[in-house]
Amino acid sequence: MIAYGGPAMRRWTKSDWLRTFAVGYVVLDSIHAVDHLRQARTLSPQIYAGGTLALATSVLVMVLVLRRHPVAPLAATAFGTAAALGVFAAHIVPNFYFLSDSYVPLHLDIVSWLIAIAVIIDAAALALVGASMLGGEDRQLTRG
């Protein structure tokens, strides 16, 4: 028999979601970086520099979010938007500019595609949750 009288589960707050997506982005982008190594191909210097800058910035955003810094929602919104658009433009859209590393002509496996798509989705979610916390009562990151 299952007992149903235990402590009530608390509802997730926007702060909880922001933390989840901030940590998730760092984890997913790290996996994405390792996947580039798994693909056994050479990246252009600008793609390498852009990816390294994005990963370093994501760590900074994660630290702001985890420390519940007042600027964290704004940082998450700005970074998440730039990251989602940047990864989409670099990997999903056909090559069209110097930061392109399109997966389309490379015929990569499903793992590479799923990782890149997961990074984009997480970045977009980070931006949306961060934006939803701007200017309102939710702006303060709650403890919990």
Q: What is the predicted pLDDT for the residue at 4?
A: 59
Residue 135 has a pLDDT of: 80
Task: Name which of 77, 106, 100 is nearest 87 in CA terms.
Answer: 100
Distance CA 92, CA 64 (A): 29
Ranges of residues in the chain whose predicted pLDDT is under 50 = none
Question: What is the pTM for the complete model shown?
Answer: 0.86
Give the tokens for residue 98.
């110097």
Distance CA 73, CA 102 (A): 30
Distance separating alpha carbons of residues 78 and 53, to the nearest angstrom: 14
Q: What is the pLDDT of residue 8?
A: 67
